[in-house]
Amino acid sequence: MKFSERVGAKEVTNFLQIGDMDASLRNSIWNLIQEFLPLSPARTGQDDINRRGIYVKIWSEFLSLKIDDTPATNSLCRSELLIMYDNFKWYEVYDFLEFILINFHSVNGKELANSILEKERSGYRFIGDILVSISDSFEIETVSSVLLIRDYFSGAREHLLSAYKLFSKKLDPDYRNAIKEAISAVESAAKIISGSEKATLAEAVQSIDKIHRMHPAFRESILKLYGWTSDEKGVRHSFYDSILSIDEADAHFMLVICASIVNFLISKYTNTRIESR
């Protein structure tokens, strides 16, 4: 915290920047991005072809402009790109950050980005290759742990990553299908632990309970979540779209809770089951 903030001369806000960004956040993101953008004049050799190729890729793939319209020098490219960047909408800035870090790999690029986003109070963080909406440090830890799910449970991992992608679509988030993917992740993990690939989540949980004796409240909470999404009046049934209003809060809750349940099931109930196979 700066001196001016500590003494109260400058107002400090604890609100996350969601759906917008201030000049400080925008400038900090640019300062990271520009590290990937070559500025020196082209020389000769393969390295320079690759350096020039960064701008060609930006112009053709991100900006959807003609390659012929790419400015003649790296300096002109970066200058023109900065002018465009300053006019990007807030979500286009994040689109560009994603594009740069996905296409021009850096050993610690996403870690640096997350550090900047945290410092600037952005409401978004990188989880793998995508930016997702994040509300607190617990959620960051929970969602990040999804990437560490072992390959034996790759189905659950992919369902959760799909859920976060659907939830994080900036202009058109798909909350209903994000919830479907989240509960499907729990179902996938439970099926593997129970040893029954054809079981429903309810059947798989009952099977796990017979082997491991789950706490009744925990068992029932999973079954009730499943019922909310999957029974005849649940989220999965489009007939009730007009009755059930699914919003960001619903999807946000389900993503975090389902990721937590998947991690819990895997860590608590797989040791004897998996190691014995």
How confident is the model over 251-265, as pLDDT tens digits?
888 888 898 889 888
Four-residue CA torsion sign, 202, 204, 209, 215:
negative
Query: Treating both helix axes as pointing N-terminal to C-terminal, what angle do 175-194 and 216-230 enclose, rounded to 10 degrees?
Result: 130
CA 240 to CA 220: how far, in whole Å? 24
Domain match, 129 and 187 both: no
Domain match, 99 and 147 both: no
Most confident of 87-101, 214-228, 229-243: 87-101
Domain match, 102 and 162 both: no
Mean pLDDT computed over 191-217: 86
**pLDDT at position 170, please?**
61
Domain match, 147 and 262 both: yes
Is the pTM value of this prediction over 0.85?
no
Total number of domains constituting the chain = 2
Residue 82 has pLDDT above 90, yes or no: yes
Residue 244 banded pLDDT, cuts 50, 70, 90: low
Nearest CA to 116 out of 94, 138, 147, 148 is that of 94
CA 45 to CA 131: how far, in whole Å? 35
Query: Two tokens at 26?
Result: 């925008």
Domain match, 213 and 86 both: no
**pLDDT at position 1, please?**
54
Domain boundary among 134, 150, 166: 134
Residue with tokens 């009046």: 233
pLDDT tens track for 9-50: 666 554 668 888 999 999 999 999 998 888 755 444 434 445
Domain match, 166 and 240 both: yes
Nearest CA to 115 out of 106, 130, 126 is that of 126
The overall average pLDDT reported for the chain is 80
**pLDDT at position 249, please?**
81
Domain match, 60 and 159 both: no
Domain boundary among 104, 134, 164: 134
Most confident of 80-89, 128-137, 212-221, 237-246: 80-89
Residue 180's Cβ-count burial label (10 Å; 0-12, 13-18, 19+) is buried
Most confident of 54-68, 99-113, 136-150, 228-242: 54-68
Domain match, 154 and 270 both: yes
Domain match, 28 and 70 both: yes
Query: Which residue type sits at 236?
Result: R
pLDDT tens track for 88-120: 999 999 999 999 998 887 778 888 999 999 888
Residue 155 has pLDDT above 50, yes or no: yes
**pLDDT at position 275, please?**
42
Q: What is the CATH number of the domain that holds 189?
A: 1.20.120
Percent of residues, the chain, with pLDDT higher than 70: 76
Domain boundary among 134, 149, 172: 134
**pLDDT at position 100, please?**
93
Cα 228 off chain centre by: 24
Domain match, 229 and 129 both: no
Residue 33's Cβ-count burial label (10 Å; 0-12, 13-18, 19+) is buried
- Parent domain of 189: 139-275
Helices vs strands, H then E, count in the chain: 13, 2
